[in-house]
Amino acid sequence: MNADITFHITNAKQMNALKAIGEALQVSFEIVETEPSYNDEMLKKVTKGKKEIKEGKGIKLSAEDIDNLWK
């Protein structure tokens, strides 16, 4: 049997565990690191927000203000 399996890991602990399993089972494996993908529109909004904060256009909220947003 010949098959491929793709795991989407998020931390080093997961990486190390999967590597150990592959080595223990004598399974050949390849590690391909990828860049996280972001929604272009969201990335533009975040970049714009950071720029506005640097320009002093942001607002500051207290913990109480934030709590009141949910009420």
Predicted local confidence at residue 64, as pLDDT: 92
pLDDT at 37 over 80: no
Which tokens is 46 given? 């975040």
Predicted local confidence at residue 28, as pLDDT: 92
Instruction: State if pTM tops 0.75.
Output: no
Predicted local confidence at residue 25, as pLDDT: 95
Per-domain residue ranges for the chain? 12-69
Average pLDDT over residues 36-49: 86
Question: Which residues, at least 6 apart from 28, have a Cβ–Cβ distance to it below 8 Å?
Answer: 22
Predicted local confidence at residue 16, as pLDDT: 95
Q: State the amino acid at position 60 in one-letter form.
A: K
Average pLDDT along the chain: 90
User: Which of 47, 31, 29, 49 shows the shortest CA–CA distance to 39?
Assistant: 47
pLDDT band at 26 (very low <50, low <70, confident <90, very high): very high
Backbone angles phi, psi at 16, to 5 degrees: -65, -40
